[in-house]
Homo-oligomer: A and B are copies of this chain.
Amino acid sequence: MEKQTIKDILSNYKTILHHDITIEGWVRAFRSNRFIALNDGSTLNNLQIVVDFEKFDDEIIKNIHTASSLKVTGEVVESQGAGQSVEIIAKKIELLGENLSEELQSTILQPKRHTLEKLREQAHLRFRTNLFGAVFRVRSAVSFAIHQFFNQNQFFYINTPIITGADAEGAGEMFGVSNFDLNKVPKNEDGEVDYTQDFFGKKTNLTVSGQLEAETAAMGLGRVYTFGPTFRAENSNTTRHLAEFWMVEPEVAFNNLEDNIDLAESFLKYVIQYVLDHCKDDLELLDKRFAEEQKQKPEKDRAKEGLIEKLENVVKKRFKRVSYTEAIEILLNSKDNKKGKFQFPVEKWGADLQSEHERYLVEKHFECPVVLFDYPKEIKAFYMRLNEDQKTVAAMDVLFPGIGEIIGGSQREERLEVLKQKMADMNVDEHELWWYLDTRKFGSVPHAGFGLGLERLVLFVTGMTNIRDVIPFPRTPKNAEF
């Protein structure tokens, strides 16, 4: 693209000083009928336009409102005021689009904490606010860093199916996909829905995970990852659940559990360092917001670290690796457990860990990111590799401060007979997963992978508290506007 953005101008202004340039953007503020703060979305920062109102048509000046759009030509000069390096002395101003809404000016452009919810109903306008501009630029940087990390490490990006005829993984309730007119669903002789007449000739759903398909790809391409939307039809109206979210799932042939943990740690550190390196301005805004949020909380609930500090620490600190068995010991012996501070007391080995337990380990006990591994087989999925103790599987969860589980993964069961036995034990239909079993018949190899929910990571990196605020158009129960 030949055109210069405001980001270009602010970072390379020395080469264009005293030149005339043309720039387009939206008005963020217009002070004293003289100073326009112009923003084009390329950066959080505005470009100051200095207007000598006597030189311009009244008609133009009176329509310069917050959120209206302008095309400005003028000379680049060093700024007299504080806070900006450079400004434009306007010679020509063209009004591209007026802003007809006073409400937009007040609510949308200066969102208060209590207006975030209201803004979710105006998701199409969130992009115009400083806060959401920052959030979505960071989200974009996180996504790019993910692709770049895997690319640099010789992974191949593969697209697993969104519409799937397989529903065996059982990771959660699934949405149905159909081409039927629901007013007249065709039935067969038994009075059951006749899916043979549907588009795909069978019952189909929206995917909950691309892992099983990704495993088949890793068996040929070696290192692969998926990065696409996944779905859960769970009726959960919480700050942590979305019905539609984006998931990253690497899968690596020849990796064991330790390799998998190494990969997860270097992956997370790379992505967070990338954001620290590339989103300084946006992170500073989010850091300030985070600090203000903390001040509103009772002291005991406040985060120990600032947002940027927290990110820097995650990159610096070695993740603590702890077996599930050790973790249970720590929890059983913890003061919090003995004093009954947990909502769900830890009673014995075999229990599933709750969010409060994970956060205790990360935030109080170890004070760094924690990787738990070797979980009881009963509480984990059928495809995880059975350990020699016959009691645990080679599973791993990465736990982060303030957020709990951010990655879940495992070494996969590559032994055909063991896998079949586990499927039988856990009531997973062998016939439906014939293709998955095939991968264990023809040159099966040890392999491992994990899943990362993109929005969880963006929540962590931006310090936002509601997952609906880190995805452009959130899908939740009773909400599919846009």
**Do B220 and A128 touch across chains, with their CB atoms under 8 A apart?**
yes
Q: Is the CB of B176 within 8 A of A180?
A: yes
Nearest-neighbor residue (CB-CB) of A473 within chain B: B161
- A175 adjacent to chain B (CB < 8 Å): yes
A179 to B: closest C-beta gap in Å: 5
B144 touching A157 by the CB < 8 A rule? yes
- With A182-B180, A220-B128, A246-B159 as given contacts, are A154 and B42 in contact (CB-CB < 8 Å)? yes
Pick the contact of A414: B97, B229, B438, B480 (CB < 8 A). B97
How many interface residues does chain A have, given as a range?
35 or more
Given A229-B159, A443-B26, decide whether A40 and B199 contact each other with a Cβ distance below 8 A: no
A53 to B414, alpha carbons, bound, how many Å? 28
A471 vs B157: C-alpha distance when bound (angstroms): 12
Copy count, this protein chain: 2
Chain B residues with Cβ below 8 Å from A147 are: 143-144, 147
Contact in complex: A213, B482 (CB < 8 Å) = yes
Is A98's CB under 8 angstroms from B41's CB?
no
Q: Given A177-B175, A243-B199, does the pair A42, B126 have CB atoms closer than 8 Å?
A: no
Flag if B185 contacts A223 (CB, 8 Å): no
**Quick check: B253 and A164 within 8 Å, CB to CB?**
no
The stretch of A201-209, A311-319, A329-337, A345-353 that contacts the partner chain = A201-209
**Residue pair A435, B482 in contact (C-beta under 8 Å):** yes
Instruction: Chain B residues near A471: list those with CB within 8 A.
Output: 159
Q: Is A379 an interface residue (CB 8 A)?
A: no
Q: Using A160-B472, A442-B104, A443-B99 as known contacts, say yes or no to A199 and B477 having CB atoms under 8 A apart.
A: yes
Complex Cα gap A436–B156 (Å): 36
With beta carbons under 8 angstroms apart, the residue of B166, B182, B192, B475 that contacts A482 is: B166
- With a cutoff of 8 Å between Cβ atoms, the chain B residues found around residue A213 in the complex are 124, 472-473, 482
The verdict on A169 contacting chain B, using a C-beta distance below 8 Å, is no
Q: Does A165 contact B (CB under 8 A)?
A: yes
Chain B residues whose CB sits within 8 angstroms of the CB of A204 once the complex forms: 480
**Stretch of A1-9, A78-86, A397-405 lying at the B interface:** A1-9
Residues in B neighbouring A67, C-beta threshold 8 A: 442-443
Q: Is A13 an interface residue (CB 8 A)?
A: no
Sample of 13 further A-B pairs with CB below 8 A, known A96-B443, A126-B220, A201-B480: A1-B266, A124-B216, A124-B439, A125-B442, A128-B220, A133-B221, A161-B473, A161-B480, A165-B480, A173-B179, A176-B178, A199-B243, A435-B482
Q: Which residues of A line the B interface, CB within 8 A?
A: 1-3, 5, 7-8, 24-27, 40-42, 67-69, 71, 96-101, 104, 122-129, 132-133, 136-137, 139-140, 143-144, 147-148, 151, 153-154, 156-166, 173, 175-180, 182-183, 185, 192-193, 199-202, 204, 206, 213, 216-223, 228-229, 231, 233, 235, 243-244, 246, 252-254, 259, 262-263, 266, 414, 435-436, 438-446, 471-473, 475, 477-482
* 23 CB-based A-B contacts, threshold 8 Å: A1-B153, A1-B223, A5-B154, A5-B223, A26-B219, A101-B442, A124-B213, A124-B438, A125-B216, A125-B438, A137-B221, A161-B473, A175-B177, A175-B178, A176-B178, A176-B179, A183-B185, A199-B478, A200-B475, A200-B478, A213-B482, A228-B228, A228-B229
Q: Nearest 10 A-B pairs (CB), nearest first? A: A127-B220, A41-B222, A97-B444, A124-B216, A200-B480, A41-B221, A201-B478, A140-B156, A165-B480, A69-B443
